[in-house]
Amino acid sequence: MPYIVEAKGLNKTFGDLVAVDGISFHILPGECFGILGPNGAGKTTTIRIIYGFSPMTGGSLKVFGLDASRQWRTIKSRIGVCQQENNLDPDLTVQQNLEVFARYFDIPRKEARQRTKRLLAFIALQHRKDAKVIELSGGMMRRLVLARALINDPELLILDEPTTGLDPQSRHQVWERLEELRSKGLSILLTTHYMDEASRLCDRLVIVDHGQILVEGRPMDLIRQHVGHDVIEVAEPSKELQDFVNAQRMEHEDLGHRLVIYDREGEKMFRTISNEYCNEGCILRMATLEDVFLKLTGRGLRE
């Protein structure tokens, strides 16, 4: 099966800064592929290269089996992009935003009108079709950006942090739409720094940092592999507990006021620890992608 995206040794430098440092990955048809990473890890730069906004400094890139540096126009006509900023056209109404965008893709007027109608229903904004963009809420705007990215019936949907800044209700709205699209077989490329979003939507993902891929795999596999099933968190750990954890050679992270133990032995170990080393502030929870992420990219602030 041909890959939707095939990136080999993708490289991007801005002067002295290496933003993308030899990234290789591929996306299968119908797959939702995630690129995760802290701010400044090179996520946005990578996808900008894929949708033809930024020229790459080195490496090779094929989208739909086409050479990205030569057949950019064909590629761009077959992908849909939700950029990070809301760059809806404030001079136009909701409906016009979709119809004018359709023109950029050479979609005939009548067809554009039909698609606009269908997409407005899909994002539940029919009733606001004549509204100005600035009158919409953040969640509505995001849904409109999503609809706009679908106007050309893309074979690949690229989403750069699709739910950043949204309230929980709006996030779930967007997720439901994306899940619906995925179930219809649309290939999706997504960047995010929300781990719940990635776990929920992505079939496969990479975690990148400093322009390089740290790990690649299915969310569940990555959790099992790097953290295990469970995590024990202890607030204000005692000296005895730290000695115990060290003696048992358990994987853990010492955050000073907090101890995170990657527990591979299940509940038994939790009982031992909670009974013998702490009275309260000790919890057992399922390991999440966030544990993997923090373990791999560290806890230092990225600013």
66 binds another protein (CB under 8 A): no
What is the CA 133 to chain-centroid distance, rounded?
25
At closest approach, how far in Å is the CB of 166 from another protein? Answer: 19
Measured between alpha carbons, how far is 18 from 57 in angstroms, rounded to an integer?
10
Phi, psi angles (nearest 5°) of residue 39: -60, 140
Instruction: Identify the bridge partners of residue 262 per DSSP, sorted by sequence position.
Output: 231
At closest approach, how far in Å is the CB of 242 from another protein? Answer: 47
92 binds another protein (CB under 8 A): yes
- Of 11 and 212, nearer to another protein (C-beta) is 11
Instruction: Identify the bridge partners of residue 235 per DSSP, sorted by sequence position.
Output: 258
- Of 70 and 110, nearer to another protein (C-beta) is 70
At closest approach, how far in Å is the CB of 241 from another protein? Answer: 49
77 binds another protein (CB under 8 A): yes
Encoding tokens for residue 3?
């890959």
- Of 82 and 120, nearer to another protein (C-beta) is 82
- Of 76 and 182, nearer to another protein (C-beta) is 76
What CA–CA distances, in Å, run from 299 to 130, 234, 251?
46, 17, 16
110 binds another protein (CB under 8 A): no
What is the CA 206 to chain-centroid distance, rounded?
10
At closest approach, how far in Å is the CB of 129 from another protein? Answer: 15
238 binds another protein (CB under 8 A): no
Measured between alpha carbons, how far is 190 from 7 in angstroms, rounded to an integer?
15
90 binds another protein (CB under 8 A): yes
What CA–CA distances, in Å, run from 34 to 31, 204, 205, 263, 300?
10, 6, 4, 26, 22
Strand segments, DSSP code E, in the chain are: 5-14, 17-27, 32-36, 58-63, 66-67, 79-82, 156-160, 187-192, 204-209, 212-217, 230-235, 252-254, 258-263, 282-286
Measured between alpha carbons, how far is 207 from 122 in angstroms, rounded to an integer?
31
- Considering only residues 130 to 149 of the shown chain, the ones binding another protein according to CB under 8 A are 148-149
164 binds another protein (CB under 8 A): no
Strand 204-209 and strand 32-36: the pairing is parallel
Interacting stretch for another protein, rule CB under 8 A, among 104-112, 122-130, 191-199, 247-255? 104-112
The answer to whether 163 touches 129, Cβ cutoff 8 Å, is no
Among 88, 140, 156, 205, contact with another protein (rule: CB under 8 A): 88
Interacting stretch for another protein, rule CB under 8 A, among 99-107, 179-187, 199-207, 249-257? 99-107
113 binds another protein (CB under 8 A): no
Strand 230-235 and strand 252-254: the pairing is unpaired
83 binds another protein (CB under 8 A): yes
Site string for another protein, 26-65 (x = CB under 8 A): ----------------------x--xxxxxxxx-------
* Residues in contact with another protein by the rule CB under 8 A: 14, 48, 51-58, 69-70, 72-73, 76-77, 81, 83, 85, 87-92, 96, 100-101, 103-106, 148-149, 152
